[in-house]
Structure 1
Amino acid sequence: MNNLQLEALLNQTLSPHLVKDYCPNGLQVEGKQAIKKIVTGVTASQALIEAAVEAKADAILVHHGYFWKGEPQPITGMKGKRIRSLIQNDINLYAYHLPLDIHPRLGNNTQLAGLLDIKVEGGLEGHAQSVAMHGSFNVALTGKQLEDRIDNALNRQPLHIEPNDADKKIKTVGWCTGGGQDYLELASKFGLDAFISGEISERTTYIARELGIHYFAAGHHATERYGVRALGEWLAKEYNFDVEFIDIDNPV
């Protein structure tokens, strides 16, 4: 497939025009025209680029790309090295941020819900582009049971902040992959028993305790491996691309 045709296909599937984002979504760095081999990964780090070169990829498809709002514009230093590596190896870089978080079938939030056996009930913000979700478990869980479920599903021990009532059972839950700790108060207003995200801030501990809600910080990277992988698997199945997911481990 032509590289611009692939971008059009991805845009049609993920609808980035509907989302106000912090970076450009789509083809960020142009490489060769013909694309057969695609490497997918969470973040377009130098390590992922080098792995893609080794794999003889024509394109890299990631969740975290480049050109974030507020970052320095000059293409120098680390940023320059990354982009130079892509251009020298004629590799296309595609990145989809919030559109890949919220996609109802392939998105990070939906994929995480499937891994944790959460019944999705809607967006926490009350609209189709909500980046935080809410749902429920079939059977109420203890905090330790949900902690273990997250650990087993993601192969990453989450940081569990218990509410003042540590014995509170968990039936309803909200979640936002990546950095969603600031949705915790909204989750409490919904009357949810727990909230899951990737990151945690110092203030999150006190908010969770005082609002009586379990909080689980399961890792930004760990919670966002699954959308881009699902997107790559869909491209392989529906369009016969040779797709390889490469996980560059990140403890954050």
Structure 2
Amino acid sequence: MEKLTLIGFDADDTLWQNETFFRLTQDRFETLLADHAAADHLHERLLAAERRNVGQYGFGVKGFTLSMIETAIEVTEGRVPATVIAELIAAGREMLSHPIELLPHAREAVTAAADAGFRVMLITKGDLMDQERKLAQSGLGDLFDAVEIVSDKTAPVYARLFARHGVAPESAMMVGNSLKSDVLPVIETGGWGVHVPHGLTWALERADPPTGHARFRELTDLSALPGLLTRLLA
């Protein structure tokens, strides 16, 4: 077995809160359009718009805001008041300036991986400017040996990242809350995938866990990561 040398960390909902703010904004969206459609219907229509648009808008607040506006136009058959559109734009702007809230044990987990001699890398997807803002505000930036912000997380993307940093996939581990983006594609490349569940998971990030796979692990929270690394190195 290749020696484990690189630990990659996801950012949103692994190191800091993210989905919570999307849910709060979605609640606001449903309240604004309550006279036009039921909350369940709005939820379904918004998710369909996000699924349809993610290939063009990418992941993040800006694509979410555009999908809300598109859905508002659709469900009102083009009669949505300009004041509602303005409120949705304002909600998106608020999300883009919301203070960072670190998740429990985030700093300790990254520090422990670095102190154990691993190269540590932040691998996150989404809007470049927003992700850079969040990293800067998190206070964690100096802990990472490298930062990669990508448009999506797939096995070929991870393979290219590992190759660019001179790391064999078998020597890499990715730690994150998304089975679809942080675990399954890394295992596909030959690396380790460590799932740290978050209480809220966006529908487009859900996937079945690779239960029983030799390179899959699930942790209750980040406080368990140092112990896992110790066991793997034993």
Query: Is this a same-fold pair by TM over 0.5?
Result: no
Greater fraction of residues in helix:
2
Greater fraction of residues in strand:
1
| Higher relative contact order, structure no. (Cα contacts within 8 Å, ≥ 6 residues apart) | 2
| TM-score calculated relative to the size of structure 1 | 0.29
